[in-house]
Amino acid sequence: MADGEVAAFVAYARSGQRRLYRTAYLLCGDVEGAQDLTQTTLATLFQHWRKASRADNLDAYARTVLVRTFVAERRRTVTDLLAHRRSAPRPQPNPAPGADLRVTLLALLAELPPRARAMVVLRYWDDLSVETVAALLRCSESTVKSQCSRSLVRLRARMGDVQLYSTGS
């Protein structure tokens, strides 16, 4: 890779790293996982920089790499866990009514399957259109709509007594 291409990548990585990390954190739910996912995404972008730098929207290209990496890694992790899992079901924690809403939502997001979680984060946090999310995840628009709808129902049911509109501290 030429020096100019390396400089262009470094400039993009510095400016886009924070946006990528924010989305990665919402997907992973923890700092270490988000850092790893962001680094993996940037490494992949560097590896394919010639193609990536020619993209019409470099941020969208990077977000696509991030989401597809997340889904692929989670799919592998879930498959590995299921292969070594005991038959005892895992207890489902109920969020405490006094818990911080952000922490509660992150914990509940972590309960969603990786693909559904990616759809909810991209659709409602990154405020992407149904069409864009469908293109990112290589699925139909109706799949995005139904998965988001089911996920929101599941999140609302799990929220239980937590008050979404509390005015207290």
Q: Establish if 169 belongs to a structural domain.
A: no
Asked if residue 168 belongs to a domain, the reply is no
Residue 2 shares a structural domain with residue 83:
yes
Q: Which residue is it, tokens 């929220």?
A: 159
| Same-domain check for residues 63 and 108 | no
Which residue, of 35, 61, 87, is where some domain finishes?
A: 87
Among residues 57, 87, 117, the one where a domain terminates is 87
For residue 46, is pLDDT > 90? yes
Query: For the residues 60-83, what does the mean pLDDT come to?
Result: 78
Range of the domain at 40: 1-87
Two tokens at 65? 């790499």
Contact 128, 19 (CB under 8 A): no
The string of pLDDT tens digits covering residues 117-154 is 999 999 988 889 999 999 989 999 999 999 999 999 99
Q: How many CA atoms, within 13 angstroms, populate the side-chain half-sphere of residue 1?
A: 16
Q: Confirm if 116 and 108 have CB atoms less than 8 A apart.
A: no
* pLDDT tens digits along 3-44: 888 999 999 999 999 999 999 999 988 899 999 999 999 999
Burial 113-141 (b: 16+ CB within 10 A, else e): ebbbbbbbbbbeebebebebbbebbeeee
Rounded CA-CA distance 113/78 in Å is 9
Per-residue pLDDT band at 94 (split at 50, 70, 90): low
pLDDT at 166 exceeding the cut of 70:
no
At 123, phi and psi to the nearest 5?
A: -75, -45
pTM: 0.64
pLDDT, average across residues 71-77: 76
Cα torsion at 30, 31, 37, 41 (round to 10°)?
140
Mean pLDDT of 43-60: 93
CATH of the domain at 140: 1.10.10.10
State both tokens at 97.
């009514």
In a domain, 167, yes or no: no
The answer to whether 122 and 67 have CB atoms below 8 angstroms apart is: yes
Q: Which of 39, 59, 37, 35 is nearest to 47 (CA)?
A: 39
Q: What is the pLDDT of residue 140?
A: 95
| CA–CA distance, 56 with 40 (Å, rounded to integer) | 22
How many domains, the chain?
A: 2
Measured at the alpha carbon of residue 141, what is the angle toward residues 109 and 105, in degrees to the nearest 5? 10
Q: What are phi and psi of 42, to 5 degrees?
A: -65, -35
Are 88 and 64 contacting, i.e. CB atoms less than 8 angstroms apart? Answer: no
**Does residue 73 sit in the same domain as residue 3?**
yes
One domain, residues 104 and 65? no
Q: Same domain for 72 and 130?
A: no
